[in-house]
Chains A and B, each alone.
Chain A
Amino acid sequence: MAPQDTPSLAEPTARGRAPQVNPELLPAALVLTCAVLLIVATKLLNPGSSFMHQLDAVLVTSIFLVVASFGQGLTILLGGIDLSIGVVVGLAAIMVSTLTNGRDAAILWVVPATLGFAAFIGLVNGLGVALARVPPFIMTLASSISFYGVGLAFTLGVAQRPVAPGLTSLMVARVAGVPIPVLLLLGFVIIATIFQNGTSDGRKLYAVGSSPGAARVLGLPIAELTILVYTLSGLCAGISGILLAGYSSAATINIGDPLLLPTIAAVVIGGARVVGGRGIYLGTFAGALFLSALDTIITVLNLSQGVRDIIEGAIIVFALLLQSERWRAARR
């Protein structure tokens, strides 16, 4: 028996005396500070460029993870998980590039169609989890494997097609000196924070996540909320995929795969618990920004891929260790 487990029996009383300030803000702010420090360090390592330039670079490359992590964060908040994010990002990217095929005129219908398809995959996940009662881990894994097959069928024999130049230029254009992706990012973070931590639906998610039984007794629409959350997660992965296609100006079906595990890591580094009911979006955003900044600084250091991976893995473990220290301190 580990000695630090004993105080957990006294946890409810400790929570009862919680201060007025949202206690989840502290870890989020801490991770955000670390991310900013990483960006500063990147600038110091790379003296040729200005700080604003580095900041822009990190923010622009972080947008894919930031957007996709929002959906992951919502599903984890409900005590679930979305393993289909990587595949949905890839499918959205390939769909938007195949259908636009380099024509700007097509953007008007292709983007909504792509977002609709991404949301549809999320809807299927949500229906499976909420109505068919399939465990989220299995439902989203199964749907991602199946829809990956659909994507393979869709791209069969089709050479890589160029993305519409409109989307590509969106990712590099600037308004008043600020890159458009950075503005999109800020807008997204504000809307996401308001939804998760400011609306009644958002508050209900916390209730369902921390105690599904109590939420049922209260008569909260658990099934509807679950379906909503998975659909939103699919939608976010779709947005991420479209932006990624614009950024890389061409897409492959596997383009989203490297995003899946970082979305989980971002949510947890941001202070959420995998069992649900905890964590704010600002934390997830900070986690995603932190991981992207980490990626940038490791690239700037010009290390071999092997050393990069080792450092990145160690830092993820270390960040989790700091978060768990906080949990332990909160229990005391």
Chain B
Amino acid sequence: MGAALRRLRRIRPAGGATVAAMIYLALYTIYASSEASATSVFGLTNLFNNTVVLAIASAGLTVVVLAGEFDLSAIGVIAIANVVMATTSIGILGWFGALILVLLIGVAVGLLNGWLVATLQLQSLAVTIGTMIACEGVALLILTAPGGQVNEAIVSTLSGVLGVVPVALVIIAGVLLAWLVLVRTRLGIALYAVGTDATAARLSGLSVERTKLLAFVLAGVAYALAGFMLSCQTGSGDPRASHTLLLYMYASVAIGGTSLMGGRGGVLGSLFGAGILSVMQKMLFALGAASFYTSIFSGIIMLVAIFIHNISELLAHLRRRVA
């Protein structure tokens, strides 16, 4: 097992994040060269505010994907988190109480998904469609139509700046830090092992069930946090606001170089993937392109990123052969 772990450590740092980071920088450079405000504090705050929800949600999804499963429940959790924030963050709970409540909801949905997938061994791609629809139903019960109000204190604080650093960037950095801690724990290593080969992981004494369960719980917490941040961006509740997010979450994860088969990739790549999708929108807008180009290019960027990942993997493979 020691050797296997060493090998895992060796392949992890690449994780596809370098490719995504390079694409991100290239797009940002084009954006900055055609839009003067891109490098200002205001421009950066705006950019990261646009990125943060997708970034956190994609980070959570990455953990489940690494463990070799799918999770479509994210938009349901985000919807519940959003309507809970819009209905409780001003009243008795206050914003902090509402945040705790929202995170607990994320844990609960994660536990439910994890139990269904890891313990009962249902197919995650299908069963999380069920939990997603049910969660959206819960969100609609809490708030039947768009409305409500999120505590003004957090709306202005969390979409603003901390000194000169956008708060959204601080939160993204916090998620990254949590990930970097996670990969150094036993659970982090187990995630990769289970995602690569569940049978081998089981035979080497890892609990596949517990690993997958915890992956879903961590993802649930991330979705809840994403819903919290969404509420801080919009300032109100909308049970349908998260609907368009799902496919873009998978796009972020794929662009970031995480294999949808599990076992390869990491959160850093997904954060850049989410960043790419947001900065591209800004870039095309700055270049004066019609809005539909954003959609066309999102798909193309996905394929380009996958293509570069494949090429770089092939090169790495050849290099190992030579060595």
Residues of chain A touching chain B, judged by Cβ–Cβ distance below 8 Å, are 1-2, 4-5, 81, 83, 128, 132-135, 137-139, 141-150, 152-153, 156, 261, 264-265, 268-269, 273-274, 304-317, 320-321, 324, 328
Query: Of the candidates A142, A309, A314, which one forms a contact with B299 in the assembled complex, judged by CB atoms under 8 Å apart?
Result: A142
| 28 A-B pairs with C-beta separation under 8 A | A1-B207, A1-B208, A133-B310, A134-B307, A135-B254, A138-B254, A139-B303, A142-B251, A142-B299, A142-B302, A145-B247, A261-B132, A264-B129, A265-B129, A268-B123, A274-B126, A304-B140, A305-B137, A305-B140, A307-B137, A313-B130, A313-B131, A313-B134, A314-B134, A316-B133, A317-B131, A321-B116, A324-B122
Please measure, in the bound complex, the distance between the C-alpha atom of A317 and the C-alpha atom of B116, giving whole angstroms. 8
Query: Of the candidates B138, B250, B297, B299, which one forms a contact with A306 in the assembled complex, judged by CB atoms under 8 Å apart?
Result: B138
A134-B306, A141-B247, A312-B133 given as contacts; is B298 within 8 A of A317 (CB)? no
B66 to chain A minimum Cβ distance, whole angstroms, is 15
Chain B residue numbers with a CB within 8 Å of A315 are: 130
Chain A residue numbers with a CB within 8 Å of B121 are: 2, 4, 324, 328
B164 CB–A CB distance under 8 Å: no
Chain A residue numbers with a CB within 8 Å of B119 are: 2
Chain A residue numbers with a CB within 8 Å of B297 are: 146, 149
| Contact status A145-B302, CB under 8 Å | yes
A1-B207, A324-B121 given as contacts; is B294 within 8 A of A149 (CB)? yes
A2-B209, A138-B254, A156-B292 given as contacts; is B299 within 8 A of A268 (CB)? no
The residue on B at minimum CB distance from A152 is B292
Residues of chain B touching chain A, judged by Cβ–Cβ distance below 8 Å, are 72, 116, 119-123, 125-127, 129-142, 144, 202, 207-209, 247, 250-251, 254, 259-261, 290-300, 302-303, 306-307, 310
Please measure, in the bound complex, the distance between the C-alpha atom of A58 and the C-alpha atom of B167, giving whole angstroms. 51
A1-B202, A145-B298, A316-B130 given as contacts; is B251 within 8 A of A310 (CB)? no
Please measure, in the bound complex, the distance between the C-alpha atom of A261 and the C-alpha atom of B76, giving whole angstroms. 14
A287 to chain B minimum Cβ distance, whole angstroms, is 10
Please measure, in the bound complex, the distance between the C-alpha atom of A304 and the C-alpha atom of B121, giving whole angstroms. 32
Chain A residue numbers with a CB within 8 Å of B125 are: 81, 264, 268, 274
Query: Of the candidates B142, B251, B300, B307, which one forms a contact with A141 in the assembled complex, judged by CB atoms under 8 Å apart?
Result: B251
The residue on B at minimum CB distance from A83 is B247
Please measure, in the bound complex, the distance between the C-alpha atom of A289 and the C-alpha atom of B3, giving whole angstroms. 51
| Contact status B122-A313, CB under 8 Å | no
| Contact status B133-A304, CB under 8 Å | no
Give 17 A-B pairs besides A309-B140, A310-B141 with Cβ atoms closer than 8 angstroms: A2-B119, A137-B250, A138-B260, A141-B299, A142-B302, A146-B296, A149-B294, A156-B290, A261-B129, A265-B126, A268-B126, A274-B123, A307-B141, A313-B129, A313-B135, A317-B116, A321-B120
